[in-house]
Each structure stands twice: as C-alpha cells, then as structure tokens.
Chains A and B, each alone.
Chain A
C-alpha cells in the first residue's frame, strides 16, 4: 500500500489511479490527521492559485491602462481610417508612391528598412580548420550561411552545455531572422534584464521584433531606452522613433 504522503502528492499533481482514489478516500474517512493535512494543503493550494491569478490579472489591468493611454487603442477605429487612406493612396497613383514612399511608413516597411542581421562577432570560422567540429563552429557556420533552423538547434545545445552570455543573443537573432518574433522578443528581453554585454543591441532588436508583432507602443518604449543609453544605433533609433510618433 502506498504511504500517505505519496497519496497526497499524487492527489495534488492529479495522478491518482482509481484504486489509489479508493485508498485515498478511506484514509480521509478514518484518519483524522490525514484529513487535517489534506484540508490544510487544499487551503494552501487555494492561496497559491489566488496569488498567481491575481498577479496575472494585474498584468492584464496594466495592458488595459496602456491601451487607454495610447491613441491607437480602438482597433476598429484605428484600422478604418487607415484602410480608407490606403484606398485613396491607391487612387492617387503608384508614381506618387514611388516619389514619396516615406508616407507609407507602415511597420512592415520600417522593419525592412531597419533590420539587418547582427554579424557574427564572437566566433571566427577559419577555412582550413576542418578539424574543428565544435558546437560553436557548427552553430555559427549555420548562422553565417543563413541556415537559421540549424543554427537554432546548435545554439540550443550550446546553451545547455555552456553558460556563454552571447548564446542567448544569437538565439534571439536566429529566431528573428527565422520569423519567430515572439521567441525573439522574449530572448532579447531576457538579455536586457540580465545586463548582458549585448544589452544595447538587445533593446534595438527587441524594438524591431515588437514592430513585427504590431506592438508599436512597446517598440517605442524600447527605442526611448536605447536612445537614453546613447551608444548603439542612437541615430537610427531616434529616426525610427520619430517615424513611429
């Protein structure tokens, strides 16, 4: 027979078998100490769930105040004039568009004109050195040849085995280049939060990834922080921020 502690563990992780459930209920009826412990843990569970759910709800309320603060809040109202503007623009003609393409600075164009894959600055691949089969070599070879899927696989492995600071940054790069903007954003946020040597770059690329995700407010915030740091891509960031405003 299974011991009481084990039964409680299995109850709360949801893995009791039907037989164990019978066993569990018997204890609940006949063993006062077991019952007290169970009731106590149930209370702890309610408290933990409440605490977690409250903190997630607070985050949502935070999104709401962001939404009401930003003029682009109501998506429907936001898109309608935009689509009208787009049709008018089409009527006016392509020649004018070519002539003054800045008017069309949609996020897509802004991204395309600002994005550039971050070069490999951490690992030198020398041609003759065919004996080097290290993970780093494989990862950066793939990265340099734009084979991002492979790069991600190797970078992941590299991350498991080492604690190198730059691995996360290049993982973010590979995700971004591969079109996985959510994962890229998360990686860059992580880099910013741990004060990595790539922190400044992290702000820039996190802003770009957010553009792709249509999170313009977030992108603006990141750009402002980058400009404040005043080193990497300061001019580009200022220019992009102006276009977004």
Chain B
C-alpha cells in the first residue's frame, strides 16, 4: 500500500493539487467523524463541520498562514474542527461545555489562533457585492482571488499572472475594485 507522508501531501496541497485535495479529505474523514461523535450533533452537522474545517485548513495553506507542518494534518483538522463544532453548538443554543473544547489544548492551538477560520454569513451589502463580483471578468476575479484569498503580494501576483510590472498589477487591481464600487453605486437595489 502506498503511504504518502503528510509532508508530501501538504506540499501537494500548497501547489493546489486536486488529487491531494481529495485524498487528504477522504483519508481523515473517518477519524474526524469518530472524534466528533462525543458532541451531540446530528451526523449531517458533523459532516458539515468537517467540510468547513477542511476548507479552512486549505485556505490557510493557500494563503501562507500555514507554511510548515508542526503536527499531523489530522491534528490541524481536528483543532479547527473544534471551533466549527462549537459554532454549531452555540447556534443551536445548546449548553456548550467549553471545557471540553479547551482542555486537551494542542500545541498548535496558538498557531491556529492566527488562521482565518471564520466563515460568517455575508451581510446584505456583501451579498450584493458578491452578485457583482460573480459578473466580473475572469481577469479581475483572478487578480482579486490572488490578492484577497491567497494573500499574494503585488510581486507574487505579477509572477503568477505574467504581468509586466508591479504597476500594471496595481492599476489592474484598482480598476477591478472601481468596477465593483461603481456597480454598487449604480445598483437599483440600494
């Protein structure tokens, strides 16, 4: 049987490998679901929490907040998953046993503090903004994704998108933001 080390998989996730994305998801699924059994959540909610935790871990690999693995990928997933589970328990006004979440502090919990793991619902204005974002041209969407999701700096975007200079990137990005701003301003819905 092939045993890919976490390090190999982590590197592959960094590079955006789709097969690694699938493999890591599948490999840690059972472990996570077993772990989450101790909380009184329905099966669908647990699965939903796992998916949110997974997406959050992936985001923080992509945006460079997680650069070196200090622990197994499964440990990261479970630590982020705890937050996701707590969110759900709170939402349902269930008695939340914070101790349950806070004891068992992992050595990586400090690190996770710095991660982007919130996934709050969008406000009304943000929803409108999303509507216009979805209609932007491919080039604009790409540059904004690189900047705000992957948190690339201008130099990195220049290399990634084959731009000629940093100034070209900056003005392209400003133009995309301006298009969005104009759309909002002229929106009949406001």
Contact with B along A167-200 (1 / 0, CB 8 A): 0000000000000011101100100000000000
Q: Whole-angstrom distance from the CB of B162 to the nearest CB of chain A?
A: 13
> Does A12 sit within 8 A of B, measured CB to CB?
yes
Looking at A45-53, A83-91, A125-133, the stretch in contact with chain B turns out to be A45-53
Residues of B within 8 A of A52 (CB): 59, 145, 149
Number of A-B contacts (CB under 8 A): 111
Q: Is B129 an interface residue (CB 8 A)?
A: yes
Q: How far is the CB of A237 from chain B (nearest CB, A)?
A: 20
Q: Does A215 contact B (CB under 8 A)?
A: yes
Contact A186 B18 (CB under 8 A): yes
The B125-149 residues at the A interface (CB cut-off 8 A) are 125-126, 129-130, 133-134, 144-145, 147-149
Interface of B is mostly: helix
Residue pairs across A and B with Cβ atoms less than 8 A apart, 15 shown, are A14-B151, A46-B126, A49-B149, A51-B130, A53-B56, A57-B51, A57-B55, A60-B54, A67-B26, A75-B30, A182-B8, A182-B12, A182-B19, A182-B23, A183-B12
Chain B contributes a number of interface residues (CB within 8 A of A) equal to: 49
Which 5 residue pairs spanning A and B have beta carbons closest together? Answer: A13-B153, A45-B148, A48-B148, A185-B19, A60-B51
Cα(A67)–Cα(B145), bound, Å: 30
Looking at the complex, which of A36-44, A92-100, A148-156, A228-236 is the stretch in contact with chain B? A36-44
Task: Determine if B19 and A215 form an interchain contact, defined as CB atoms under 8 angstroms apart.
Answer: yes
Closest-CB distance, B181 to chain A (whole angstroms):
7
Other contacts beyond A44-B129, A50-B122, A56-B58: 6, CB < 8 A: A14-B64, A40-B181, A49-B116, A49-B119, A60-B55, A63-B25
- CB distance A183 to B17 under 8 Å? yes
Q: Mark A57-85, 1 if CB is under 8 A from B, else 0.
A: 10111011001000000011000000000
- Which B residues lie within 8 Å of A12 (CB)? 147-148, 151
| Contacting pair A53 B122 (CB below 8 A) | no
Contact between B151 and A13 (Cβ–Cβ < 8 Å)? yes
Decide if A241 is an interface residue (CB 8 Å cutoff). Answer: no
Chain A contacts for B30, CB-based, 8 A: 75-76
For the complex, count residues of A whose C-beta is within 8 A of B.
41
Flag if B126 contacts A64 (CB, 8 Å).
no
Interfacial chain B residues near A9, Cβ < 8 Å: 153-154, 170
Interface core residue of A5, A15, A41, A182 (most chain B CB under 10 Å): A182
- Decide if B91 is an interface residue (CB 8 Å cutoff): no
User: Which residue of B12, B52, B120 contacts A57 across the interface (Cβ within 8 Å)?
Assistant: B52
Residues of B within 8 A of A185 (CB): 19
What mask results when residues 17 to 47 of chain A are scored 1 for a CB within 8 Å of chain B, else 0?
A: 0000000000000000000000011011111
Q: Are B19 and A47 in contact (CB under 8 A)?
A: no
Q: CA–CA, A215 to B4, complex, Å? A: 14
Q: Is the CB of B17 within 8 A of A53?
A: no
Pairwise interchain contact B26-A63, C-beta atoms closer than 8 A: yes
- Interface membership of A212, Cβ < 8 A: yes
Whose C-beta in chain A lies nearest to the C-beta of B144? A48
Contact A13 B147 (CB under 8 A): yes
Q: Are A48 and B2 in contact (CB under 8 A)?
A: no
- CB-CB under 8 A from B12, the residues of chain A are 182-183
- Tell me the nearest residue of chain B to A46, going by C-beta: B126
Smallest CB separation, A191 vs chain B (Å): 14
- Residue-by-residue, is A94-130 near B (CB-CB < 8 Å gives 1, otherwise 0)? 0000000000000010000000000000000000000
